[in-house]
Amino acid sequence: MAAKKIQLISWNVNGIRAATKKGMVDWLKKTSPEIIGLQEVRAWPQDMPDEVTSLPKLHQHYTEPERKGYSGVGLISKRKPDSVETSLGEGRFDSEGRIQIARFGKLVVANGYFPNGNGKNRDNSRIPYKLDWYRALFDKVQRLRKGGYRVLVIGDFNTAHREIDLARPKANAKTSGFCPEERAEIDRWVEAGWVDTFRAFEEGPDHYSWWSQRFGVREKNIGWRLDYVMASPSAMKFVKNGFILKDVKGSDHCPVGVDLDPGIYG
């Protein structure tokens, strides 16, 4: 008999109300992940769809931004977290509602909607903010890792790490999401020992998690791999597989995730 495994999934839903209308709840009931982290929820608690909030036997936690209809993250889990932290220690980060750091025994799941580097005029003016946010989270999860926790950092990282991670790297060399300084920040995580779980199991090209909503782009698979599950070395020992669910619709992103040995809880 195959060893039992549990599934952790990350999905930028591009608006939980829109995703619900496109079948997200039915998919969630059918898939039944152990933990799912949602990004770009874009709804305050009072605006959450009833179909989501009434899901039985699941624990839900949402972090909303100060600005309505913007950003936001959510965590839905079968097991109740021991604690959930929503601060990176600076108001300029916390006001955007981009992080949840949930502890389940020895497992810590940091669910993040990493900033986009584009400014209002698509001028890359938010890249410094984006990199500061990355570094603030890095410092926090490094402390947790050194404290003996098994840490998984999940979410929309808004960066394609290598040329293999987007369909048209040369055309996007100066586009936020593939600028050298953004890619170098993911290099820094990897050099510090964090494992890109998908690439630990799949080295080949043409695997993406986001596509422009322009007609035909997704069908032609002209995409970017922007969504990750990054594992600390101690967590990686419990990771059995990394995957991208490219056929799941409902957002311009698709879900990504890992299969885990349930022993990761400790």
Tell me the catalytic residues. 156
> Distance (Å, rounded) from C-alpha 36 to C-alpha 263?
18
> Distance (Å, rounded) from C-alpha 58 to C-alpha 63?
17
| Rama region for 239: left / alpha / beta (φ>0; ψ in -120 to 50; rest) | beta
Q: Tell me the two tokens of residue 236.
A: 């990686």
Q: Tell me the two tokens of residue 192.
A: 């510090």
Percentages (nearest 5) of helix, strand, coil residues in the chain:
30, 25, 45
| Rama region for 69: left / alpha / beta (φ>0; ψ in -120 to 50; rest) | left
Helix pair angle (127-146, 180-191), 10° resolution = 0
Specify the 3-state DSSP secondary structure of 124: coil
> Distance (Å, rounded) from C-alpha 24 to C-alpha 250?
7
**DSSP code at position 23:** T
The letter for the amino acid at 20 is: T
Write the CA distances from 163 to 47, 148, 160, 170, integer angstroms. Answer: 39, 34, 8, 8
Buried b (16+ CB within 10 A) or exposed e, 115-147: bbbbeeeeebebbebbbebbebbbebbbebbee
